[in-house]
Chains A and B, each alone.
Chain A
Amino acid sequence: MEVKTGTWTEKKGLAQMLKGGVIMDVVTPEHAKIAEDAGACAVMALERVPADIRATGGVARMSDPELILKIMDTVSIPVMAKCRIGHFVEAQILEALGVDYIDESEVLTPADEANHILKHNFKVPFVCGCRNLGEALRRVGEGAAMIRTKGEAGTGDVVEAVRHARTVLGDIRKLTTMADEELMRYSKEIGAPYELVKETKELGRMPVVNFAAGGVATPADAALMMQLGVDGVFVGSGIFKSGDPARRAAAIVKAVTHYQDASILAEVSRNLGEPMVGRNVSQMPEAEKIAGRGW
């Protein structure tokens, strides 16, 4: 009997299991437990949430493996971890630790300003950020088995998440109306592999699971992203930078499941305590924005 591991079906498949769910940033095993108890479908293990990475400054790197292992020991749900863009050795280390998914993330300081990791070289699946369809399909071309729109991490301002989701999903809607002979020119225009552009047109959707990220802070934000058409939501600083993380986390989980039911959204939005304070992206200097990282 032939047994195959690390296949494209396996890599894409785990992301399919996460659909309709919330992936939460956690910085301690205690946070991870709170996230699991609230109904998170996976956690992202990291040393500092994006809001703190912004506040502290300096170089943001892969987390201490000790922390990641402790979080893996604490919860039974999948554990993801971040490596820097292009830092394939951090990715090798994360794979050796046995994390379930690697996020090659713009939230950390990029290690390569021209190239991303060749993710096909790994057995562990990768998720990558994008702002438009071209960026998404370049990442898929490199082997990303899951995509997330970037938003602007650590701000609590959903405006960039909306912009990126509308752009990606709008690009796909446009693509589906194009004639087949226009696809090569379009591939050239958006800098994406032709075969993936063709596949996206045929499917009428992203060829891998597509979550939203970067600025989701409330159940309403999460449901907004779902109604726009993403498959699920990452919440970073929005939970553990709020007044009552356990309650807010559970409410966001419910909002993602019942994203079309306004009466349930009203119910779960009540009495959540203080949201994260947040930063208004439109008043933020360009140099502080991180969504532009990635090529």
Chain B
Amino acid sequence: MKIGVLALQGDFAEHIAMLKRLNVEAFEVRLPEHLNGLDGLIIPGGESTTIGKLAVAYNLMEPLKLFGQSHAIWGTCAGAIFISKDIGRDQPLLELMDIKVQRNAFGRQIDSFETDLDIPELKQATGSDRPYHAVFIRAPIIESVSGDAKILASVPDGRIVAAQQGHLLATSFHPELTDDTRFHEYFLTLVD
């Protein structure tokens, strides 16, 4: 299995390290031709405006949209923004998932937080009952899901922080900043 990590900007090296821990071949993707031969793609955390501009500048928008039609893609934080249909402001989006996202929804850096989440699908897929410890950094929320998209996880006040639509996955938080590989394992189950 070959998994790409979009390496335009952000914490792509952390995702690659997680994939290597799971003995998965991982590749940096900066140009359209780097998508060739990949079975899935992770879009890392970073600045969504920076990632979007660089994707446009290097003609990655259409190839990424096409890739997402038939391959698993997982966006974390900035990646969740980039993969969404609507963020209520003008910036480049892949519009692959039927989710509406709000950037920096919890506030500035001093409001960034860590907490435990209960994610039934994750427990089921990995056979582990431990709560999932999630790291949120200037995080977005998923305001709403529509179409085939379903909610995977919410914080206790009901705000949605993870969603899935078939082979597409979006998380507001950063599994790549933890020692817990379960979310990466879960993503790999979506890869054909």
Q: Which residues of A contact B (CB under 8 A)?
A: 1-7, 9-10, 13-14, 16-21, 36, 38-42, 72, 76-78, 95, 98-101, 123-125, 250, 253-254, 256-258, 261
Distance in angstroms between the alpha carbons of A125 and B107 in the assembled complex: 15
Q: Is the beta-carbon distance between B9 and A5 smaller than 8 angstroms?
A: no
Task: Assess the A78–B109 pair: CB atoms within 8 A.
Answer: yes
Cβ of B120 to closest chain A Cβ, rounded Å: 16
- 9 inter-chain pairs at a CB distance below 8 angstroms, sorted by A residue, are A2-B115, A4-B114, A16-B45, A39-B50, A72-B108, A77-B49, A78-B138, A99-B108, A100-B138
Given contacts A5-B111, A10-B114, is CB(A16)–CB(B12) below 8 Å? no
Which residues 37-65 in B have Cβ within 8 Å of A in the complex? 45-47, 49-50, 53-54, 57
Partner of A17, one of B11, B103, B111: B11
- Among B49, B112, B115, B116, contact of A14 (Cβ-Cβ < 8 Å): B112
| Pairwise interchain contact B113-A4, C-beta atoms closer than 8 A | yes
Q: Are B137 and A76 neighbours in the complex by a CB distance under 8 Å?
A: no
Q: How far is the CB of B59 from chain A (nearest CB, A)?
A: 12
The reply to whether A20 and B138 contact each other, CB–CB distance below 8 Å, is no
Distance of A72 Cα from B138 Cα, bound (Å): 14
Expressed in whole angstroms, the Cα–Cα distance for A124 and B78 within the complex equals: 21
For the complex, what is the distance from the CA of A98 to the CA of B104, rounded to whole Å? 13
Quick check: B137 and A257 within 8 Å, CB to CB? no
Chain B residues within CB distance 8 Å of chain A: 7-14, 30, 45-47, 49-50, 53-54, 57, 77-78, 89, 103-104, 107-116, 135, 137-138, 155-156, 174, 177
**Chain A nearest CB, measured from B90 CB (Å):** 11
Which of A16, A38, A101 is B109 in contact with, Cβ under 8 Å?
A101
CB-CB under 8 A for A125 and B109, given A21-B46, A39-B54:
yes
Check if A17 sits within 8 Å of B10, measured CB to CB. Answer: yes
Nearest residue, chain A, Cβ from B53: A39
User: Which residues of A are found within 8 Å of B174, using beta-carbon distances?
Assistant: 13
Say yes or no: A20-B113 contact (C-beta < 8 A), given A14-B137, A253-B54: no
For residue B113, which residues in chain A have a CB less than 8 angstroms away from its CB?
Answer: 3-5, 10
How many angstroms between the C-alpha atoms of A1 and B158 in the bound complex?
A: 13
Q: Which of B112, B155, B156 contacts A5 (CB 8 A)?
A: B112
Q: Check A123/B110 contact, CB under 8 A, given A77-B47, A258-B30.
A: yes
Which 5 A-B residue pairings sit nearest by Cβ, starting from the closest? A100-B109, A41-B47, A39-B53, A16-B11, A20-B9
